[in-house]
Amino acid sequence: MEYQTIYLILAGIFGLFMAWGIGANDVANAMATSVGSKALTIKQAILIAAIFEFAGAVLAGGEVTSTIRKGIVDADSLAGTPELLIFGMLASLLAAGLWLLIASKKGWPVSTTHSIVGAVVGFAAVGLGMEAVHWEKVGKIVMSWVISPLTSGIIAFLIFQSVQYLILRQKDPLAKAKKWVPMYMFFTAFILTLVTIKKGLKHVGLHISNNEAYLYASVIGALVAIIGAVVIARIKPDPDKDKDFHFYTVEKVFAVLMIVTASGLAFAHGSNDVANAVGPVAAVVSTAKTGLVGSKAPLESWVLLLGGIGIVIGLATYGRRVIATVGEKITHLTPSRGFAAELAASSTIVVASATGMPISTTHTLVGAVLGVGMARGLSAINMNVVRGIFTSWLVTIPAGAALSIVFFYLFKAIFSH
């Protein structure tokens, strides 16, 4: 292949740019719920995000990456012209990255996932022909965009109801919190580990049996719960700030739990959203190196690394500011609420990651927050936002598609002769 090196370099740069955007906006949004509720400082949030995003991407990001890489575009239709796939994937990265840049400058709440899926579908449908798109798969992806916020909303509703029933409405909420919060920690660590082991690790080359999976997940869950319980036991009531039921101190107990769920959310986010940057890069890399479309070559590890690094840079440069401002504005999302939303969102997201569905993590989190609100957990929720989400769908998908079509023909004109 003629321009192999140039393709690789371009893919690296665009992928890094896209990952930077994800780190700057999406991750920041997810971590801000913890900073806003004072469960974490900004520094701690960035550190946790960096570690767990990275782990999520590497350990559980394989399925979604492969969907973006080869699930949407029909490889057979490109067998004779591998360059077209390279142009298309480069165009998609550039289009989605650019669109995200414009949107975040304007303050529009757009989804990275929708941008990249719109872009890939766009170049394939117009540049390669309608039959080059796996419409059945695209249909499933779009369905998952509706199902994921709904599911996480329902889960959040149920989790928060259980918190109300088991802890907040009791006569001794503080004692009850100390008793039940480690259970929620166990549940969080258990579910994330289980899904990762069962679905994610095969991409890293590890094969673990079902029984072993349950065993390992239980062990990790128990470890997290025990450490949590030790930390919680040290929390003493604050007579200055507490009223009769010690809710101030109860929230401090939940804040410890929120560190766990925030890590879980970062992990889940990494497992799903890193694919948006890494998937197209992986497609370019394997095609450019082998000259074959849809080759069975495994994901090269430096590609995932690139995604991880990009996210961390995005977090450190721009995401910091997003976390600070978002965190400041949502201070009344207390830990007892925030954890329910984060736990619901992260379980939904990891299941989506395991089944290879690229979903919007932000929309899933919004669904979860709405669920907590429906359980009478939040003093005021702005329902206009739901309308805003539908608008952003209607705009982002065509915008991503249109931009990527333009870039596709541009690359084709530059590199073909």
Q: What is the sign of the dihedral through the CA atoms of 143, 146, 149 and 152?
A: negative
User: How far is Cα 197 from Cα 193, in angstroms, rounded to an integer?
Assistant: 6
Q: Does 272 bind other proteins (CB under 8 A)?
A: no
For residue 268, give the nearest of 193, 164, 187, 175 by alpha carbon: 193
SS3 73: strand
Burial zone of 384 (CB within 10 Å; 0-12 exposed, 13-18 middle, 19+ buried): exposed
Instruction: Indicate the residue among 16 and 174 with the shorter CB distance to other proteins.
Output: 174
Token digits of residue 18: 């896209």
369 part of the interface to other proteins, by CB under 8 A: yes
In the bound state with other proteins, the residue whose beta carbon lies nearer, of 222 and 326, is 326
User: Please, what is the minimum distance in Å from the beta carbon of residue 44 to other proteins?
Assistant: 19
Residue 105 near other proteins by CB under 8 A: no
Which one of the spans 188-196, 274-282, 291-299, 365-373 is the region binding other proteins (CB under 8 A)?
365-373
Cα radius of gyration rounded to whole Å, the chain: 22
Nearest by Cα to 343 from 234, 169, 181, 230: 181
Give backbone dihedrals phi and psi of 355, rounded to 5 degrees, phi first.
-95, 5
318 binds other proteins (CB under 8 A): no
The CA distance from 344 to 159, in Å, is: 8
Single out the segment in contact with other proteins by CB under 8 A; choices: 133-141, 179-187, 211-219, 370-378.
Answer: 370-378
Residue selected from 326, 402, 406, 410 as contacting other proteins according to rule CB under 8 A: 326
Number of residues that bind other proteins (CB under 8 A): 47
Note whether 29 binds other proteins by CB under 8 A.
Answer: yes
Element (H, E) at 333: none
Tell me: does residue 3 bind other proteins (CB under 8 A): no
In the bound state with other proteins, the residue whose beta carbon lies nearer, of 130 and 380, is 380
Q: Which of 240, 296, 383, 417 binds other proteins (CB under 8 A)?
A: 383
Binding mask 183-202 for other proteins (x = CB under 8 A): --------------------
Among the listed residues 168, 292, 395, 402, the single contact to other proteins using CB under 8 A: 168
**Rounded least distance, CB 39 to other proteins, Å:** 15
Nearest approach, Cβ of residue 365 and other proteins (Å): 7
377 scored as a contact of other proteins (CB under 8 A): yes
Q: What number of other Cβ atoms are within 10 A of residue 101's Cβ?
A: 15
* DSSP letters for 6-70: HHHHHHHHHHHHHHHHIIIIIIHHHHHHHHHTTSS-HHHHHHHHHHHHHHHHHHH-HHHHHIIII
Site for other proteins in 63-92 (CB under 8 A): none
Report helix, strand or coil for 195.
helix
Residue 3: CB atoms within 10 A of its CB come to 14
Among positions 41, 317, 325, 416, the unique one binding other proteins when judged by CB under 8 A: 325
**Could you give the CA distance from residue 339 to residue 34 in angstroms, rounded to a whole number?**
8
Q: What is the binding site for other proteins (CB under 8 A)?
A: 25, 29, 32-33, 107, 109, 164, 168-171, 173, 243-245, 247, 321-322, 325-326, 329-330, 332-334, 336, 362-363, 365-366, 369-370, 373-385, 388-389
